[in-house]
Structure 1
Amino acid sequence: MHGLSILPDALLVTILSFLPTRVAARTSVLSRRFRHLWQTIPFVQLNGGGLRDHPDKFIAMADGVLLNRTHPLVSLRLDLDFRSPSVSDSYVLSLLTKALSLGLRHLTILGYLDSVPILPTIFSINSLQTLSLMLPLYPFPGRPQPYLKFPSPFTLPCLKSLSLGFCSADPASLTQLVSELCSLEDLLLVTRSINTLSLSSQSIKTLQLIIREQVHTIELFLPSLESLHLNKCRSFSSMFCIHGEFPLLKEAFIKLFKVHGEDVNAVSKLLNSFGHLEELTLYIKERERGKCPKPILLQPGKNLLKFPNLKHLDVSLCFHEHNFEAITMMIHNSPALESVKLVHEIPNFIGASRGRKR
């Protein structure tokens, strides 16, 4: 305690900022000097986990560090999952309204089920530079399935990074949201299911798409896109169709599960849209459907688009004769290639999933 007492308040506040707010609040009992020091930390994390039966403790902590606050607020993280106390929409709105008045720059909300009423307030915080709204992808028993419809008009002139996770959403409002965020550079979308995903933006440079179950069509108009991460998780649905041109795309990380022979057109079309790549990572896990391997990357007799700028290629898939022929052709059509990594993935119908480098 003596060592802490000689430190200036500004340094102590910086140290407390690295702690979860619940832990930082406990320092209030150390001395009179520490009683209110924790309430000035610029990075606030309000985690309701484990306080389901003690809403009074969560509210007291939130009141002390946010509602009664006069100092500027840089970052706010609200973690309100199923283990958190049940707080009213009006109380959450009061927290966000207060954060708005304090010049909030970074906002993260995790697991909040009743998110729809707070969306207008969230999208009115014009000082935001980053926003992460990660909601449950699957409804809880006895609770309605969350359905997001984003309010308009959208301003958020300073927003550069947006992360959204949702069970389902209104496609039209999502399209409008992305198109009107004029400063947006980084976008992460995690969704369980959406029929058509259409994204148009002049400013987005990095895009991450994680599809848990199903999307039928993806339309992308992103002329500034430089990096694409696409992850189609385990599902028994067919591959989606993707439409778009990416003249500045330099890096792509593609991860596809349960792909089968009927998806060859969609996979081939996806690869053909990557003509300007410098780095490609491709992971494909084939679906169990009989014991006869089928083409996954390329239809027999057709040529892949050349990759004149490709320098690094990392491929993990089952290298049966059809796929081996396609990868050989891809390497042959990549004159600038500097490094190649190939990992053989044993399909489910052969045995357990494990890799073997070649």
Structure 2
Amino acid sequence: MKSKPSNPLRGEATAMANSSTDSDLIDRLSDLPDALLITIISFLPTPIAARTSVLCRRFRHLWEASPSLELISKDYLFHSSAENFVAMANRALLNRNPSHPLQSLRLEVSHCDPCAKAMVSSLLARARSLDLRHLTMEDFWLSDFLPILPIVFTINSLRCLSLHLRSHSRQELNFPSGINLTCLRSLSLQLIAIDLADLNPLLSELCSLEDLYLRTTDTPKLSLSSQTIRKLKLIITNRTKNLDILELSLPSLELLHLEIQCNSGNLSHIYAKAPLLRKAVIKFSFFHERNASAVAGLLNCISHVEELSLHLVEFLQDENPIPILSGKDVPHFHNLKHLDVTLCFHQHNLAAVIMMLLNCPILKSLKLIFLTGLVRGKKREVWQSKLPQNADGNDRYAYFNNLHLEENRKEVIKLLSKKCSSKR
């Protein structure tokens, strides 16, 4: 075989590439202004950003001016010691040049690290003087957090606050009064083994709050009231207690994501006042027959939504499946355009979907996903999917669009009704 003739241009390009040295690359970085280099460094985790100080003399202190800091006293990836944490906190925060703004601070301090815990108050006070905007405190024990709680809620420049708290034994968390966080837009609370006291006094003082994320465990009663919240993500996990009452009074709410997992099975009452709600995602795990009225009550409260995603995992103990929604409980969705339903589509639940179709006059799309419930018993075939087979030849997923056209809607209702009445 004849060899291909070599390309002289390609050989010249290869030679030029090989002639480049590391110093050329460093010189190219050196051509960038300090402000741009600091911005690039701010995207790195602080332990890695600190390592740029060995590149050259110019980089020695650039990382200390990063507007984003992560101070972690337990870093298993880099095996940071308490001494390294203290040194890094001193250089990057406590001795920070006031001309270098601090926008974001993430603190994670080991419960068994007394040196790091002793510095937290000083770090927060220094961050407050630098007009901190975003504060995240990860995996703090409540006993360590309570002494610094007043400092956190006096950082008036905060836009976003995220607190992840846990407790060895169940304790009650009470927020201080006289809070003046007038700029706070987003609040995230993850509380593990902590009894949440009344949150409404805190919400009433956060006059600019728009986004709330709340995750709590074993809460028997929860009431949320705010005039400003527009987006809410609420996750409730009750393993030992019943969730008796859930009340939401949020007149400005537009987006709702609600997840409830009640292993004990009792869910008495859900009330929601949200006249501006446009989109809702509702998820229930360990769903029992006695929860059906509470879910129906919630759906009637939010029947004006435009998009609805309903995800229910049934707890099926009996041999006969139960209806998630009975005909009289299915609300009329006059504004609903997009509906996603994920549940065990046995005969009764398919009938409920047909009823929802009849009650949604302007619905455009319908997505149905079959999900086997938590079945206990021998006759598992009772809960086999009743969905019609789709183009892929399976009956675990169905999608219908253009349902705002009357002929399409009638055809889908006829198809589902036929599957609902058919015997397997």
Give the TM-score taking structure 1 as reference length. Answer: 0.91
Shift of 1:240: 4.9
Q: Deviations over 1:237-259 (max 9, x none)?
A: 32252123221111000111010
Q: 1:240 to 1:4 in 2, by over 3 A?
A: farther
SS in 2 for 1:177: helix
Q: Which residue of 2 aligns with 1:191?
A: 216
User: Is the 2:161–2:187 Cα contact (8 Å) retained in structure 1?
Assistant: yes
Distance 1:52 1:196 in 2: 42
Q: Partner letter of residue 76 of structure 1?
A: L
Aligned-pair identity (%) = 48
Q: Deviations over 1:185-226 (max 9, x none)?
A: 110000112222111111111111011225321111111111
Q: 1:52 to 1:192 in 2, by over 3 A?
A: farther
Distance 2:232 2:159 in 1: 17
Q: 1:150 to 1:131 in 2, by over 3 A?
A: same
User: Is the 1:146–1:166 Cα contact (8 Å) retained in structure 2?
Assistant: no
Deviates more, 1:124-133 or 1:48-57: 48-57
Q: 1:304 to 1:353 in 2, by over 3 A?
A: closer
Aligned residues: 349
Q: 1:249 to 1:81 in 2, by over 3 A?
A: farther
User: Is the 1:107–1:131 Cα contact (8 Å) retained in structure 2?
Assistant: yes
More helix by share: 2
**Unaligned regions of 5+ residues in structure 1, if any?**
none
Q: Deviations over 1:101-133 (max 9, x none)?
A: 000011111101122222111110000011111
Shift of 1:58: 1.0
RMSD: 2.2
Name which one, 1 or 2, has greater alpha-carbon Rg.
2
Distance 2:118 2:357 in 1: 58
Distance 1:9 1:53 in 2: 28
Q: Which residue of 2 aligns with 1:37?
A: 62
SS in 2 for 1:233: strand
Higher RCO (CA < 8 A, seq sep 6+): 1
**Unaligned regions of 5+ residues in structure 2, if any?**
1-25, 386-394, 399-424
Distance 1:8 1:129 in 2: 28
Q: Which residue of 1 aligns with 2:153?
A: 123
**1:20-99 paired onto structure 2 within 5 Å:** 20-48=45-73, 49-50=75-76, 54-70=81-97, 71-80=100-109, 85-87=113-115, 89-99=117-127
Q: Which residue of 1 aligns with 2:11?
A: none
Distance 1:234 1:199 in 2: 19
Q: Deviations over 1:37-57 (max 9, x none)?
A: 110001111233227772111
SS in 2 for 1:15: helix
Q: Which residue of 2 aligns with 1:237?
A: 265
SS in 2 for 1:247: coil
Deviates more, 1:240-249 or 1:269-278: 240-249
Distance 2:115 2:208 in 1: 33
Q: Partner letter of residue 56 of structure 1?
A: E
**1:89-168 paired onto structure 2 within 5 Å:** 89-113=117-141, 114-136=144-166, 139=167, 143-145=168-170, 147-167=172-192, 168=194
Counterpart pick for 1:325 among 337, 351, 358:
351
Distance 1:166 1:134 in 2: 6
Distance 2:201 2:115 in 1: 31
Q: Deviations over 1:59-79 (max 9, x none)?
A: 111111111112221111113
Distance 1:86 1:53 in 2: 15
Q: Which residue of 2 aligns with 1:262?
A: 290
